[in-house]
């Protein structure tokens, strides 16, 4: 964590999330804010025209980025999730992290790295190599099998309620579905994953999380809050 805020942020001293509506990593961060019940200033930015204040706060310039009240910056979505729920977790979403039989970090990094690698090459195959599209879809599918095996009788990845697993993994699975909705509808056979994704998309939490915000401009009278 680094201490880099613009002078105006130093005066404001409130939580600020730099976000991008469709980004799966920003979605997970906003979901954690929703479940924490904490209110946070939200700055919806354009990834094609990143504001200088954002780059100053986080030179790696990926969303989401959280500016904390103590002026520290959190630049990784899973760290943002853990931070918000570490402050307030009325729904017990962090419980799997305290279970010695669970390797939450392993699963989430599997999705953030390997799954995302194949997802990008499947979803945006024209930017990579169209001839490899199906191969990457198959590889992503193999990773989704691991989650299908994990999903319990109650339909959740851990126990009988939503947890940090759904928050972090399902936004990426949604991208996999969006890459080719017709194929997903007809050929995706991991029924537990399919049902879990549908429940997630239909949830109040997801609807609130996908609310549209105006693009941020540095004007005090235009501050927006999430949720």
Ligand X SMILES: N[C@@H](CCC(=O)N[C@@H](CS)C(=O)NCC(=O)O)C(=O)O
Return residues touching ligand X (CB under 6 A): 20, 23, 25, 47, 62-64, 76-77, 112
192 Cβ contact list (under 8 Å, min separation 6): 148, 151, 155
Alpha helices (runs of H) in the chain, residue ranges in sequence order: 7-12, 24-36, 52-57, 77-87, 104-110, 116-123, 133-150, 164-179, 181-187, 191-202, 204-209
Q: State the nearest-atom distance from the C-beta of 74 to ligand X, in Å.
A: 9
Shortest spacing between CB 209 and ligand X, in angstroms: 14
Question: Between residues 191 and 215, which has the closer beta carbon with respect to ligand X?
Answer: 215
Rounded to 10°, the helix 133-150/164-179 angle is 150
- Tokens found for residue 114: 């390997």
- Which residue, 17 or 162, is less far from ligand X as judged by CB? 17
Instruction: State the minimum distance, in angstroms, from the CB of residue 101 to ligand X.
Output: 25
Q: Which is nearer to ligand X, 100 or 127 (CB)?
A: 127
Identify which of residues 24 and 96 has a Cβ nearer to ligand X in the complex.
24
State the minimum distance, in angstroms, from the CB of residue 221 to ligand X: 27
């Amino acid at each position: 964590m680094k201490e880099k805020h613009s002078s105006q942020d130093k005066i404001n001293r409130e939580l600020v999330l730099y976000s991008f509506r469709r980004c799966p990593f920003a979605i997970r961060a906003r979901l954690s804010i929703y479940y924490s019940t904490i209110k946070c200033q939200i700055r919806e930015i354009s990834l094609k025209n990143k504001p200088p204040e954002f780059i100053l706060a986080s030179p790696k310039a990926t969303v989401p980025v959280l500016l904390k009240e103590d002026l520290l910056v959190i630049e990784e979505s899973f760290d943002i999730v853990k931070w918000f729920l570490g402050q307030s977790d009325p729904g017990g979403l962090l419980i799997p992290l305290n279970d010695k039989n669970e390797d939450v970090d392993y699963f989430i990094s599997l999705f953030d790295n390997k799954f995302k690698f194949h997802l990008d090459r499947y979803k945006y195959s024209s930017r990579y190599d169209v001839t490899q599209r199906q191969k990457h879809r198959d590889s992503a599918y193999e990773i989704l099998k691991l989650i299908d095996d994990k999903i319990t009788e109650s339909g959740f990845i851990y126990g009988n309620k939503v947890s940090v697993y759904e928050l972090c993994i399902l936004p990426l699975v949604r991208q996999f579905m969006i890459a080719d909705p017709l194929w997903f509808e007809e050929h995706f056979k991991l029924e537990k994953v399919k049902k879990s994704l549908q429940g997630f998309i239909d949830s109040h939490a997801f609807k609130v999380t996908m609310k549209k915000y105006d693009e941020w401009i540095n004007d005090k009278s235009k501050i927006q809050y999430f949720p």
